[in-house]
Chain A
Amino acid sequence: MGGSRMAVRREPVAGNIVSNSAAAVEFRNVTVRIGETRILDNLSFRVEPGETLVLLGRSGSGKTTALRLINGLLFPTSGVVLVDGRPTTDCNVIALRRGIGYVIQDVGLFPHFTIAQNVGLVPRLEGWPAEKIAGRTRELLQQVHLDPAKFENRRPRELSGGQRQRVGVARALAANPKLLLFDEPFGALDPVTRRELQDQFIELRESLRKTSVFVTHDVGEALRLATRIALLDRGKLEILAAPDEFLKCEGRETQAFLEVLNSGPQMNANERE
């Protein structure tokens, strides 16, 4: 780990993918309708504990909507979304959200809080003792390679985009949730910083063993980060497969994305082993 840029080895996250155990997240015949439009159409899939499921699709494909169903920011028109075996409509949605880390493209750090206060937010809501929060904050900032002494008392506006997103990730991890949701978290960053944060994501994933659902429209990013890729096309699931199989898929939308990969300047696919 650390700074070396060796080819990323895509090992399966060992020991955590057991098909008999309860899925971390499950969609069963989920439809989300706004008026006449079906944003999601009879969507069914499972997210296994410990995996990184990437929801890939173009703008309007429904991937962000699907993500927001998981932490109860949205509820299905029909069908059910289960988190840890319980329907989202059936649990205390506040408790549900506190147990799920959420990282979005615009980060959404509170401008009137210091970095430390931002990171420690959920622990504070959960009533952790101040000492514990301070220690946890320092630990997390170090994990995302931000020197606590330097950054703790700064305000978000003093940080660069990449630094802010690192704080966003630290904040999502603060209360040690089992599940993390990412909505195009690196989309607003320059390619170099994006690459660095992807590396960091992989590094953290390897050491923390969390379940992640990651939304992106960048097929290179998907191939790099995913345990499995779920490709959404106009609210329907076209394919759900590990990257190797994804590359071989004949589906129309898959081909469209692979076309971009082959003709574009990014050579992310070559990093995949």
Chain B
Amino acid sequence: MRQGLWNEILNQTAEHAVLVLIAITIALAIGIPLGILLTRQKSLRRWALGFANVMQTVPSLALFGFLIPITHIGKPTAIVALVLYALLPILRNTLTGILGVDAAVRESAIAMGMTGSQLLRHVELPLAAPVILAGVRVATVTTIGTATIAAAIGGGGLGVFIFRGIASVDTTEILAGAVPAALLALLSDGGLSWIEKRFSPA
């Protein structure tokens, strides 16, 4: 295997990781506050969840295809699509996690005179944390996979190898993309699982 390949793999892996990191961060910044809002506003719930659901159902390549005329090829488009994909698990788990807090606990907290924000900070978020983290974990692992397609629209990342390898029927090239991607996914899953366990109800 050529020397240059190793360096390229490392670079692309880093680029891939950065893509995922940015997408997940934005998805968290939108998804968690939105999820919290939806626990208070029943009327909006169906719309928001419906939207996130539709986004996830649309095939990735198709989604990229829809966005290109608007945001053109390249990283920004890839990130927009990745954020839309990561949104559903995060949003849904935030919602389920908070609504799933034991009714007796919630009632006691309110009856004792906790304000809405005290309830959120001391009761809802701590108790919903494991479920929310599970959503983050699923979103991260999925995004690592979906990000391989970003290469198809000029977004870079490990998909570059995969597509190049397919085009030139070069197995080494394909694996150079697939293996690091799989490893990234496994490591993220493992790391986030560990964090999840630490936050489980003590």
List A residues at the B interface (Cβ < 8 Å): 71, 73, 94-100, 102, 104-112, 121-122, 125, 155, 171
Name the contact of A108 in the complex, choosing from B102, B118, B126, B202 (C-beta under 8 A): B102
Q: Please tell me if the beta carbons of B105 and A110 are within 8 angstroms of each other in the complex.
A: yes
- The residues of B that contact A108 with a CB separation of less than 8 Å are 102, 104-109
Given contacts A104-B104, A125-B118, A155-B202, contact A110 B113 (CB under 8 A): no
Q: Does B111 contact A (CB under 8 A)?
A: yes
Q: Is the CB of A73 within 8 A of B111?
A: yes
**Distance between Cα atoms of A108 and B115 in the complex (Å):** 17
In whole angstroms, what is the CA distance A190 to B105 when docked?
22
Given contact pairs A99-B113, A108-B105, A112-B126, enumerate 8 new A-B contacts (beta carbons under 8 Å): A95-B113, A96-B113, A105-B104, A108-B106, A110-B108, A111-B105, A112-B201, A125-B113
A173 to B202, CA, bound (A): 26
Verify A122–B112 contact, CB threshold 8 A: yes
Is there an interface contact between B111 and A97, defined as CB atoms closer than 8 Å?
yes
What are the residues of chain A within 8 A of B115 when measuring CB–CB? 94
Quick one: given A110-B123, A111-B201, A155-B202, are A97 and B110 in contact (CB under 8 Å)?
A: yes
Q: Please give, as numbers and ranges, the residues of chain A lying within 8 Å of B103 by CB-CB distance.
A: 106
Distance, CA A155 to CA B105, complexed state (A): 14
Q: Report B81-116 CB contacts with A as 1/0, cut-off 8 Å.
A: 000000000000000000000111111111111110
Bound form: Cα–Cα A99–B114 in Å: 12
Given contacts A108-B105, A111-B201, contact A97 B112 (CB under 8 A): yes
**Would you give the shortest CB distance from A149 to chain B, in whole angstroms?**
20
With contacts A108-B104, A111-B105, A125-B118 known, is A102 near B201, CB below 8 A? no
Size category of the binding interface on chain B: 20 to 34
Identify A109's interface contact among B105, B114, B122, CB under 8 A: B105
Chain A residues closer than 8 Å to B105, beta-carbon distance: 108-111
Contact A73:B118 (CB < 8 A) given known A110-B105, A112-B127: no
5 contacts between A and B (CB under 8 A): A109-B105, A111-B102, A112-B201, A112-B202, A155-B202
Could you say which residues of chain B place their CB within 8 Å of the CB of A155?
Answer: 202
Interface contact A102-B127, CB-CB below 8 Å: no
Tell me, in angstroms, the Cα distance from A106 to B104 when the chains sit together.
6
Is the beta-carbon distance between B110 and A73 smaller than 8 angstroms?
yes
CB distance from A22 to the nearest CB of B (A): 22
Q: Which residues of A contact B114 (CB under 8 A)?
A: 94, 125
Residues of B within 8 A of A106 (CB): 102-104
Expressed in whole angstroms, the minimum distance between the Cβ of B131 and any Cβ of chain A is: 14
Q: Which residues of A contact B112 (CB under 8 A)?
A: 97-98, 102, 121-122, 125, 171
Cα A97 to Cα B108 with chains together (Å): 10
**CA of A125 to CA of B111 in the docked complex: distance in angstroms?**
13
Residues of A within 8 A of B111 (CB): 71, 73, 97, 100, 102, 104
Whether A73 lies near B109 (C-beta < 8 A) is no
> How long is the Cα–Cα vector from A272 to B103 in the complex, in angstroms?
36
What CA separation (Å) do A108 and B108 show in the bound complex? Answer: 6
Cα distance, A109 to B32, chains bound together (Å): 26
What residue in chain A is nearest B105 (Cβ atoms)?
Answer: A108
Chain A proximity of B194: nearest CB distance (Å): 19
**Which A residues are in CB contact (< 8 Å) with B106?**
108
The distance in angstroms between the C-alpha atoms of A96 and B47, with both chains bound, is 36
Contacts of A94 in B (CB 8 A): 113-115
Q: Which residues of A contact B123 (CB under 8 A)?
A: 110
* A131 vs chain B, min Cβ distance (A): 21
The residues of B that contact A112 with a CB separation of less than 8 Å are 126-127, 201-202
CB distance from B77 to the nearest CB of A (A): 42
- The minimal Cβ–Cβ distance linking A172 to chain B, given in whole angstroms, is 8
- State in angstroms the CA–CA spacing of A271 and B201 once bound together: 43
For the complex of A and B, list the 4 residue pairs with the smallest distance between their C-beta atoms, beginning with the closest: A108-B108, A98-B113, A108-B104, A106-B104
In Å, the complex CA distance between A221 and B61 comes to: 67
A92 to B114, CA, bound (A): 12
